[in-house]
Amino acid sequence: MHFEELAQQLVQTASTLLNGRIVNIMDTRGIIVASTEAPRIGTRHEGACQVLRTRRPVAIHREELALYPGAKEGYNLPVWNDGQLMAVVGIFGNPDEVRDSAHILAAYTEQFFRQHALDQRARVTGELRASYLRMVLSDLPPNASEQLSVLAEALNLHLRFPVRVLALRIPSVPDPRGQQQFLDRAVEELLFRHLVAPFCDVWAIIDDRLILLKSEPDPPVAAPLAKMAQALEQALGRPVRLCAGSPCTSVRQIHRAGAEAAILCDMDRTGVLDIQDASCRFFYLMQRASTRDAGFIDDMVARLARQFGDKELEVLLTTARAYYNCNGSVAQAAALLHVHKNTLQYRMHRLWDTLCPGDASPFEREYLLRLCIMRGLHG
């Protein structure tokens, strides 16, 4: 947004706060660039020119108007930015009556432009972080080192290896806009709690998830992922899915670790999903198989749907998921689903007999059924 557009936005807001008084902003040439009196925009304001020459406030009384062509009765003040005179702001009215309001207006104007500069700097920094992450998460070409170094220097970023690629989602928020808002809050919380460090970590919201390249803490922290997930769940008031790829000892390993974290982030689970955990590696491989061989698995699900119909199949697959999540305990799964143990066993045998007729081993039946569960309930 250009200076003139920002200035016009400011005078409209300021005029409302000042009971509709005329407000002008003049640039460093003394030209009115924004005003609540639109016809005056682009004209010269001699009172502003006097402010620019003296760097002091100028009060213009009604009897002095002839001395200040293009001006009206009022009070005019310099607007400063880091010691530099950047504009002049003026308010219409008897100078003795509007002097205090003019000083408030000048302070508000300075703060307005200062905040805009900070917001603009934050946007630029955010874009640089996203560019850096997209590069390291891609399969880097041989000549990428120089570009990465330039981006890292612009961000004042110094990674401490080993680093982890983390991916965060809020499973209970399906709306992309809501997801963005919660992830923005997550970043604020992580910074507030010093769980990320701007000079050795880099983050960005990419494809409805927060991606964080997290350096090794110095000194090392016990269970850092669990602490991070716990802090976020407390701050956001809902479960999170925090996924971590393999530790990386070089930039070129980040691509693979990012792919691991992304696959884990698509799973129907909450809490910390760390590829270094044995159970997590199992589900990671299942998720990869589900994605890689989607056509083959879809055929199995379609065969089950023809046999049972969509509604009954959903009941059967939900039963199977509970059964396997309870490590094959019929009693626990039946209690979880509020059904009789015989009912649960009947449902499981119907699935097994249809999908794996004959002498299939328990492992084969579980493997194929888990793939069908992943595609049939969440595909």
**What is the C-alpha separation between 189 and 232, in angstroms, rounded?**
7
Residues in CB range of 105: below 8 A, 6 or more apart: 14, 18, 23, 77, 89, 91
Phi, psi (degrees; rounded to nearest 5) at 343: -65, -45
Cα 59 from Cα 122, distance rounded (Å) = 38
83 by Cβ neighbours in 10 Å (0-12 / 13-18 / 19+) ranks as: exposed
Q: Which helix (H) or strand (E) holds 168?
A: strand 163-169
The pLDDT score that the predictor gives to residue 379 is 44
**Tokens of residue 321, six digits:** 């998921």
- Residue 378 has a pLDDT of 60
Instruction: Supply φ then ψ for residue 295, to 5 degrees.
Output: -60, -45
C-beta separation of 335 from 319 below 8 A: no
- Backbone φ, ψ for residue 42 (5° rounding): 95, -5
For residues 17 and 28, the answer to whether their CB atoms sit within 8 Å is no
Contact 283, 299 (CB under 8 A): no
CB 60 within 8 A of CB 47: yes
How many C-beta atoms surround the C-beta of residue 294 within 10 A?
14
Distance CA 275, CA 149 (A): 28
Q: Where are the alpha helices (DSSP H) in the chain?
A: 3-17, 46-54, 95-137, 144-155, 176-192, 224-236, 254-265, 278-292, 294-308, 310-325, 330-337, 341-355, 362-378
Question: Cα angle vertex 100, ends 99, 106, to 5°?
Answer: 90
Distances (CA, A) of 317 to 65, 236, 309, 350: 84, 31, 12, 11
DSSP-derived 3-state class of residue 39: helix
What integer pLDDT is reported at residue 166 of this predicted model? 97
List CB contacts of 331: < 8 A, sequence separation 6 or more: 341
Separation of alpha carbons 186 and 232, rounded Å: 6
Closest among 289, 270, 272, 265 to 370, alpha carbons compared: 289
Compute the distance between CA of residue 295 and CA of residue 248 in angstroms, rounded to an integer: 33
Tell me if 50 sits within 8 A of 43, measured CB to CB. no
Looking at residue 20, the DSSP 8-state letter turns out to be T
pTM (whole model) above 0.75: no
> Cα–Cα distance between 364 and 269 in angstroms, integer?
23
List the pLDDT tens digit at each of the 379 positions of the chain: 578 888 999 999 989 888 899 999 999 999 999 999 999 999 999 999 999 999 999 999 999 999 999 999 999 999 998 889 999 999 999 999 999 999 999 999 999 888 888 888 888 999 999 999 999 999 888 778 888 999 999 999 999 999 999 999 999 898 889 999 999 999 999 999 999 998 999 999 998 899 999 998 766 666 889 999 999 999 999 999 999 999 999 999 999 999 999 999 988 889 999 999 988 898 888 888 888 888 999 999 999 999 999 999 999 999 999 999 999 999 999 999 999 999 999 999 999 999 888 778 999 899 999 999 988 876 4
**What's the pLDDT score for residue 128?**
93
Please give the C-alpha separations between residue 131 and each of 134, 135, 145, 151, 284, in angstroms, as whole numbers.
5, 6, 14, 8, 27
Exposure string of 27-63, with b = 16+ CB inside 10 Å and e = fewer, is beebebbbbbeeebbebebbbbbbbbeeeebbbbeee
